[in-house]
Structure 1
C-alpha cells in the first residue's frame, strides 16, 4: 500500500515525504519532480507556456499512470482537482492531508509566481486555498494538522495514525512507472 501526501503548496509534502520514507524504509516519489523530468522543464515553465489546463492535463496523466507499491508519494497541490487521479491514488493507498492554516501557508510561500502553483487569473492564494480545502478533506483518509509543529512531530504523528489505521508496516517500494518518468 502507498502513503499519499496531499495538501497546499508549502504544507511540507516533499520534506515530510522524504523523512517518512526514511523512517518507514520505503521509497519516495515526488510527482512534481516526475512531471518536470517527463516534460523537461520546470513546473512554472509548463504553466507559462501551455497554460493551467495543459499543466493539469499533464499532471493528471502522469499521476494516473503511476504503478507504485509501498511508496511514499508526495503530490502537487493541484492534483486534487483531478477526480481520476485522486481515485487511482486512493485505490492504491492511503491519502494523508497535511493541513496548514492559510496564514501559515501565506508566510511559507514567498515565491508563488515562480513555484509552479496553479492559480487562475484573477484569483489570489487565499481563493485557491479556500477552493481546495473541501477537496483535500473529501479525498483524505487521515488529516494531520501540521500548524505550529516541527517536522519531526508531524512525521511521528503520521506514522502513529497510519499504524492505528492499519496495524502494519509494509516495505519494498516497487516503481512500475513508465520509462519516461
Structure 2
C-alpha cells in the first residue's frame, strides 16, 4: 500500500496536533512529520528565535516554504498553528491528503498553553490568545475536510474520532 493519501492535522497551538499525530501515524502505519520541527531543522533556530531575530511574518514565510516542500503521502503531518495563513501551502497539503481540524475550545487551550509569550507562535506582538483563536478559527474551518470537536475528549477518544471519520471518508 504505497502512496496513500496523507493526513494533515491543523488547529491552534496546544490542540494536540503533535501528540495525536504520533499516535495516529502508529495506528495507520504511516510516517510522522511535525512541520514546526522541520522549520527548526531547516533554519537551525527555534520558532521563537526566528520571531525574535526578525518577525512573525518571516516565520510564516519560512513555514510556507516548508509546507510547499512537504510530501504528505503515507504520512501524518502535524502543521504549525499558523499554516492556515498560507493559501499555497494549504492547497499543496490538501492535494496530497485529508486535512483534519482539531477544534479545541479556547478554555482548554488556556489550560494547556503556559508559555504563550515564548512558544514561537506566529502572531502580531499585540495579539492575545483570544485574538489569535478568533482570527484563525475561520481559516481552520475553511481548509478542514474533517473536523474533530475535541471538547471533553481525551486523547484516545480524539484519536478514535479521527480514525472513524477517515474510514467513513474512504468508504
Output the TM-score relative to the length of structure 1.
0.90
Quote the offset at 1:34 in angstroms.
0.3
Q: How does 1:97-108 map onto structure 2 within 5 Å? A: 97-108=101-112
- SS of residue paired to 2:48: helix
- Gap runs ≥5 in structure 2: none
Task: Provide the residue aligned with 1:25 in structure 2.
Answer: 29
Residues 119 and 125, structure 1, Cα contact 8 Å, conserved in 2: no
Quote the offset at 1:67 in angstroms.
2.4
Residues 11 and 100, structure 1, Cα contact 8 Å, conserved in 2: yes
1:116 aligns with 2:99: no
Residues 7 and 72, structure 2, Cα contact 8 Å, conserved in 1: no
How many angstroms apart in 1 are the aligned matches of 2:19 and 2:72? 20
Deviations 1:114-140 (A, max 9, x none): 111112022111000000000000000
Q: How does 1:143-158 map onto structure 2 within 5 Å? A: 143-158=147-162
Deviation above 2 Å: which 4+ runs of structure 1? none
Select the structure with the greater relative contact order (CA < 8 A; seq sep ≥ 6): 1
Deviations 1:77-112 (A, max 9, x none): 001100010100111110000001111111111101
Task: Provide the residue aligned with 1:5 in structure 2.
Answer: 9
- Gap runs ≥5 in structure 1: 168-181
Q: How does 1:46-85 map onto structure 2 within 5 Å? A: 46-85=50-89
How many angstroms apart in 2 are the aligned matches of 1:22 and 1:11? 19
Residues 72 and 97, structure 2, Cα contact 8 Å, conserved in 1: no
151-160 or 63-72, which deviates more: 63-72
Q: How does 1:129-144 map onto structure 2 within 5 Å? A: 129-144=133-148
Task: Provide the residue aligned with 1:177 in structure 2.
Answer: none
RMSD, aligned CA: 0.8
Task: Provide the residue aligned with 2:164 in structure 1.
Answer: 160
